[in-house]
Structure 1
Amino acid sequence: MKKTLVSALATALVVGAASTTFAAANPFSDVPRDHWAYDAVTQLAADGVVEGYGDGTFRGDRNITRYEMAQMVAKAMAKGDMSASDRALVDRLAAEFADELNNLGVRVSNLERNADMVKWNGKLQYKYESLRPEGQAKDTTNEVKFRLEPKAEINDHWHAIARLDADLNVADDTGKDGKVTLKRAYVQGDYTNFQVRLGKMALLSSEGYQAPGSIVLDDNFSGAQVTFGSDLKATLEAGRYKGAFLDKDNLSERANYYGAKLNYEKNNFVAGAGYYHLKSKDIGSYTSNGKDSLNVWGVDLGYHFDKNSFLSGAYAHANKLDVDNKYKKSYQVTYAYKGADMMDKGSWGAYLSYRYLGGASVAATTDGAQFGTKGIEVGADYTPLKNVVLTGKYFNGKKLESGSNDKVQKLYGTVEFFF
């Protein structure tokens, strides 16, 4: 008997998509959000089991052939982390489509799998920034960034991942460094409730997932990172770091780094805590005891009122920093509403945040608020077309310097084309 959308739903059960709490973004124009199969179909697309057609449609009411069903079964068979009941269902489907799998198995499981071993993602971004300190000339930049992010399969559990950036100054059509920069390059192993990364990777403090970003670390480091757990996740990382701390130009050496983070997310609550240690002889000039190490700890808490509204707060403190106590801290309070999804045309989001970036902000997110400032930051993003996202931010605040009442404003905007 010919099958239609029911076949896709059977495969969804096989790969576990039907039990997913939140479905992926809808890639198909003919599967509306209120369709009874919306969650399963969108998750199947995210898992790579179904691909749809070149015009962005799924055509779920069309009878599919046994050949097409066999392809979905073959992809489901390639899933390694299944329960016993799911594996039994796979075996029954494989028996039903044995002839087609025998005829297509080499091409489906080998040739097509090998063709998918390296996947390329990236973006082309135009960025505008205008920093406007009171009493000083404004500092404006116009920049184009081209980014490539390859991901190569090593085996069933391990992948090699990289990020390459090329930046162009629009004002004079010259590259910032005149070359392509390798920002990240690491291998990643994924197991049940366990992940390990080795190489140069993202360095993000525990509250970094919140809009408008991190108040402690938002950069890269070279080393090792291990994450384990489910609802409560623990991350341990160590390596070498070179980046922004108080004054970039004064950091001539890399700093030794290690950190520990806890993140909890269940139901409507999210919470986190982190400890970060940096050691370098350049740091000694900033610490109260003259030692060449800096310790920063931070906590964060958030609550989802519904699927659209999120209220969060974060606080961090730098120990033994040679400044007044009020300058050792960093914190932010943010209300975020919705959020733009690059795959969902018409989606949008906005946030309002009060940010205080003091001495604990080793390498904070500074698209709006700057290091050594405090004030209000607002932002919004919008997806006018699929894979095209517009972002705008505005910061209005003051410097934290003792005795200073100078105001600081910043405008930030990007247009991003994802591929």
Structure 2
Amino acid sequence: MRMNKKVVAILAGLTVGAMGQVYAASADSFSDVPKDHWSYEALDYLAKEGVIEGMGDNTFQGGRTMTRYEVASIVAKAMQKKDTNFGDKAVLDKLAAEYAGEMDTLKRRVDAHDKDIKELKEKADRFQLHGLARVQMGSDNGLKNDARAWGQEKNGDYNNRFYMDLEGSLKVNPHATARFSIEKNARYRDREYVMKDSVANDPNGVAHKISAPVTGELRDMPDMDTNHSGLVSNIWVELQLGPKHDWYTNIGRKWNGIGMQNLLLGGQVDGIATYHPIEKGHGWWVSAQYWKSSSDCSSFTPVWNSTPDPNDPSKNIYTYDHTDVQVRRAPVNATLDFWGPIGKYVNANVGYTHIVGHKYQENGSGYWYDTKGFVNADLSVKPIKDVTLTGSYVHAFTKQDETYGHGDRDWAFKAEYRGTDLNRVGSYGLYAKYVNLGAFADLGHDDEWSTREPTFTNGVRGWYFGFKCVPAHNVEWETLWAPHLSEQITWNNPVKRHILRTWLDFHF
């Protein structure tokens, strides 16, 4: 029987060699097979076809004795090439018959390994972690301005800190994923302590109101900083509902924003939200949400029982009875929001939020007791390449503007040049933003450049300027400067504030 050169190559490979672990592109990959060796051409052919492999160290080790399993593996790979007219079928059939047992054993092993790899991949895909670690520092005189409103300085949670946002996902099935986030603030270059009102007993056991220090360690305790204490801060479930699985629904507690610049909302909420692409809507989406901000607040009043002092009837002796708590709960809201393109270079967003439960409280009043709802609108335009202009507006249907001026509206304008891409080292962006924020057109923010939360302001007006770039893969550096902000800390006492802040985000 006459055999073609491909079968001769197979037999040559069986004669001179053993197989190893790593795929070799050609015989050039084998440092121990010189080009003038009689088997070089055959080995070169087999290596290019993927039939034989090296030992993983750039050697072929042709003098090593082969096992029957190794021979069976070469024959099996050669037979897989039959669609490309690889070899003489009669010879391959004889070799296959000779090593049938070994080839069957190898097949079972490969199938078992494939099954194990698939199961391992499915388990790995079910649980994933990502997030960012931040190093941040800066200067902010607003931390001192706050003393004019509350009689004490705030501790500068957002100014100088190490911060981490760790987010995890646990896949339930192809259309359901449970998610959680953990946030931790670790403050540095901060005062060693701040003074807080407290109560202490004198040597006679009489309670007195005093000022007591609260250290940085205590400020990181769960009861002092519940959202950034290193415990689970958000937990929610993402569902893909409907016959086409295109109703993207979140249920639980998570960070949420409304509008292109999160002007109405940009913070932690509890509730349910669903997002759906409008059929034949030319790229438009609709969102329906039922939610409340998690940023409630409360005050309390101790209630005392009094009895006449037997030693001095003109005086009373007081004993503690209970504490009346006035809880000011954030309102329960229903939101309907629409967004999508208007032409090639324009995008829009418009929505309405109705306050469903603004009287939801215990022995107190809600935040927006005269407010019925809000409208929000955004328009984003790209007039030239690399430039984006965005305007946002929020109007609150409230009577509060009669007393507090323009507290019933927020508006903001932002100009952006280019932008960053974490996968493109050297990419950068510039931005300038002007805001005019009222006191009652805001349903909740956690750290909107710190214009809301460490200073608890009732209104902000002024410019912000920023620069950001990607100095390394998955690393973003951003610097923010607000040279001249006007803030209404108390209702009739505006103050000036400036911010200079820079931070590095390491994404993982």
Q: TM-score, normalised by structure 2?
A: 0.55
Q: What displacement does 1:218 show?
A: 0.3
Instruction: Report deviation, 1:416.
Output: 1.4
Deviation at 1:312, TM superposition (A): 0.8
Question: Alpha carbons of 1:180 and 1:414: their partners in 2 closer, same or farther (altered >3 Å)?
Answer: same
Q: 1:333: Cα distance to partner?
A: 1.0
Aligned to 1:180, the other structure's residue is in SS state: strand
Q: Find the counterpart in structure 2 of residue 367 from structure 1.
A: 449
The amino acid across from 2:464 in the alignment is E
Q: Which residue of 2 aligns with 1:317?
A: 395
Do the aligned residues in 1 keep the contact of 2:358 with 2:367 (CA within 8 Å)? no
Distance in 1 between residues matched to 2:427 and 2:113, nearest whole Å: 40
Map Cα deviations across residues 24-75 of structure 1 (whole Å, 9 max, x no partner): xxxxxxxxxxxxxxxxxxxxxxxxxxxxxxxxxxxxxxx9979xxxxxxxxx
Query: What is the CA–CA distance in structure 1 between the aligned matches of 2:392 and 2:493, rounded to whole Å?
Result: 25
User: Do structure 1's residue 176 and structure 2's residue 256 form an aligned pair?
Assistant: no
Contact 1:369 1:377 (8 Å CA) reproduced? no
Residue 357 of structure 1, CA deviation: 1.0
Aligned to 2:428: 348
For 1:336 and 1:195, locate their aligned partners in 2 and report how far apart those are by CA, in whole Å: 29
Q: Which moved more, 1:324-333 or 1:276-285?
A: 276-285
Matched, 1:275 2:352: yes
Look up the equivalent residue of 1:344 and give its one-letter code. Answer: R
* Amino acid aligned to 2:502: G
Q: Look up the equivalent residue of 2:433 and give its one-letter code.
A: S
Q: What secondary structure does 1:116 align onto? A: helix
* Correspondence 1:123-162 to 2 at 5 A: 123-128=132-137, 130-133=139-142, 136=145, 140=156, 141-162=159-180
Does structure 1 residue 221 correspond to structure 2 residue 269? yes
Cα distance, 1:409 vs structure 2:
1.6
Taking structure 1 as reference, are residues 169 and 317 closer, same or farther at Cα in structure 2, changes over 3 Å only? same
The reply on whether 1:397 has 2:473 as its aligned counterpart is no
> 2:253 maps to what in 1?
200
| Partner Cα separation in structure 2 for residue 110 and residue 241 of structure 1 | 40
User: 1:300 — aligned with what?
Assistant: 378
> Contact (CA 8 Å) 2:296, 2:328: kept in 1 or not?
no
- Report the 3-state secondary structure (helix = DSSP H, G, I; strand = E; otherwise coil) of the residue aligned with 1:109: helix
If the length of structure 1 is used for normalisation, what is the TM-score?
A: 0.66
Bigger Cα displacement from structure 2, 378-387 vs 176-185: 176-185
SS at match of 2:251: strand
- Report the 3-state secondary structure (helix = DSSP H, G, I; strand = E; otherwise coil) of the residue aligned with 1:362: coil
SS at match of 1:154: strand
Q: Distance in 2 between matches of 1:388 and 1:360?
A: 35
Distance 1:382 1:65, change over 3 A: farther
Partner of 1:329: 409
On the 8 A contact 2:423/2:473 being kept in 1, the answer is yes
CA distance in 1, matches of 2:49, 2:179: 36
Task: Give the distance between the partners of 1:64 and 1:205, measured in 2 at CA.
Answer: 57
Question: Is the partner of 1:327 in helix, strand or coil?
Answer: coil
Q: Which residue of 2 aligns with 1:415?
A: 504
Correspondent of 1:259 among 335, 340, 344: 335
Greater Cα offset, 332-341 or 135-144: 135-144
Contact 1:298–1:315 under 8 Å retained in 2: yes
2: distance between equivalents of 1:106 and 1:274?
50
Quick one: which amino acid aligns to residue 308 of structure 1?
D
Larger radius of gyration: 2
| Alignment correspondent of 1:186 | 236
Q: Secondary structure at the match of 1:326?
A: coil
Deviations 1:201-258 (A, max 9, x none): 22211223xxxxx22110121111111115111111113322279x9x9864353222
Provide Cα deviations, 1:364-412, integer angstroms capped at 9, x if missing partner: 4520645401111111211111122111112222135776563222223
Aligned residue for 2:407, secondary structure, equals: helix
Contact 1:143/1:169 (<8 A) preserved? yes
Match of 1:235 in 2: 287
Who is 2:118 aligned against? Answer: 109
Return closer, same or farther for 1:226/1:285 CA change in 2, 3 Å cut-off.
closer
CA distance in 2, matches of 1:162, 1:373: 32
- After superposition, the Cα gap between the structure-2 partners of 1:285 and 1:151, relative to the gap in structure 1 and judged at 3 Å, is closer
2:495 aligned partner? 406
8 Å Cα contact 2:401/2:408 also seen in 1: yes
Higher mean C-alpha deviation, range 299-308 or range 214-223: 299-308
Equivalent position SS for 2:406: helix
Give the conservation status (yes or no) of the 8 Å contact 1:244–1:363: no
* Kept after mapping to 2: 8 A contact 1:368/1:393: no
Q: Is the 8 A contact 2:468 2:478 kept in 1?
A: yes
Distance 1:316 1:201 in 2: 22
Task: Return closer, same or farther for 1:256/1:327 CA change in 2, 3 Å cut-off.
Answer: closer
CA distance in 2, matches of 1:215, 1:64: 61
- With over 3 angstroms needed to count, the CA separation of the structure-2 counterparts of 1:326 and 1:254, relative to structure 1, is closer
Residue ranges of structure 1 left out of the alignment (5+ in a row): 1-62, 67-95, 209-213
After TM superposition, give the deviation of residue 198 of structure 1 in Å: 1.2
Query: Displacement, 1:277?
Result: 3.2
Contact 1:342 1:389 survives alignment (8 Å): yes
* Contact 2:390–2:413 (Cα < 8 Å) also in 1: yes
- Cα 1:327–1:121, aligned 2, differ >3 Å: closer, same or farther? same
Q: Is the 8 A contact 1:126 1:144 kept in 2?
A: yes
Q: Compute the RMSD of aligned alpha carbons.
A: 3.5
Structure 1 residue 129, shift from structure 2 partner:
5.0
Q: Distance in 1 between matches of 2:126 and 2:248?
A: 20
CA contact (8 A) 1:368 1:411 kept: no
Q: Deviations over 1:257-314 (max 9, x none)?
A: 2212111136322110122234344695765xx55x5412110000123552111101
1:25 — aligned with what? none
Partner in structure 2 of residue 35 of structure 1 = none
Partner Cα distance (1:134, 1:203) in 2: 26
- TM-aligned CA deviation for residue 165 of structure 1: 1.1
